[in-house]
Structure 1
């Protein structure tokens, strides 16, 4: 079956620089984790095929979180089906920038399903952001929240199962 005949959904992964977006996608697609940080320049496209009764393709755009790449967001965020907004649990700055990402996705794709994702949940001794605070933000926004660890894989499969369910 050619990919063009498959049900395709666009998903964008947003968040501050070094918030674990690329690691999250690599864990979900390749079941791998790289300990070395590698900045995303602009955006990266990763394709994941999902079979859950029917075959679907997720086109996942991981957008660079550094401020210099923000002017490029529009071309990747328009008409997406879902957005994962990532918050690095080790970074208060990442938490403080959440409203920027939320407002951008609401502006560019108002009908997109949004999920708030707390990354690096395995680093419990170093957390700068409380999971309860992210849960409160998610409740205020009316979105789901998931805490995940790309390093250990904890919660990653469940997160992407939720993405597939919500965009179907």
Structure 2
């Protein structure tokens, strides 16, 4: 009996980007305000987080974003994040208010729950997609795609006199 082996080779162009993240958590505390310049001096991204159950933390976001822009100018990606969506019954800031603040400040917006993990991966995906050099164009259209079907070729009949080479 003959065994046929077929090798299909398909080359795909895969682009991988390695991103190093340094996360500095000041917890919104005033005592860390003087450290902001050293935290963000070489940063490309700033994530400003507020607690959706704490109106004061939301009100402070404008000041934190101003501090980031004072240090980095417009050369920074800023994401405003409403956290603790798992505590919806204690919510003091609506999603719409968060979206409106983000629009006023010209920053990105998302709500998350660090406790449950809700939208945390999405937060980092959106931030990474906004990085310079990342392609944020929509996926290729259907007409630009190539459909590849791999089918096993029909087996050739094996006879007693067939060569085994």
| Smaller-chain TM-score bracket | 0.5 to 0.7
Runs of 4+ in 1 over 4 A off after TM superposition: none
Q: Between the two structures, name the one with larger relative contact order (CA 8 Å, sep ≥ 6).
A: 1
State the match for 2:7 in structure 1: none
1:64 to 1:120, Cα distance in 2 relative to 1, 3 A: closer
Structure 1 residue aligned with 2:103, among 116, 131, 139? 139
- Partners of 2:19 and 2:99 lie apart in 1 by 29
- Partners of 1:95 and 1:79 lie apart in 2 by 26
Report the CA distance between 1:79 and its aligned residue.
2.9
Pair 1:106-2:36 in alignment: no
8 Å CA contact 2:48, 2:64 repeated in 1: yes
Pair 1:83-2:10 in alignment: no
More strand by share: 1
> Structure 2 length normalisation: TM-score?
0.67
Structure 2 residue aligned with 1:162, among 108, 126, 130? 126
Report the CA distance between 1:56 and its aligned residue.
2.2
> Structure 1 length normalisation: TM-score?
0.65
1:95 to 1:64, Cα distance in 2 relative to 1, 3 A: closer
Structure 2: runs of 5+ lacking an equivalent: 1-14, 135-165
Q: How does 1:1-168 map to 2 (within 5 A)?
A: 53-110=16-73, 111-167=75-131, 168=134
State the match for 2:162 in structure 1: none
Report the CA distance between 1:95 and its aligned residue.
1.1
Bigger CA radius of gyration? 2
- Please give the per-residue CA displacement for 1:114-137, whole angstroms capped at 9, x wherever unaligned: 011000011110011111111001
8 Å CA contact 1:79, 1:112 repeated in 2: no
8 Å CA contact 1:79, 1:108 repeated in 2: no
The DSSP-based 3-state class of the residue aligned with 1:61 is: coil
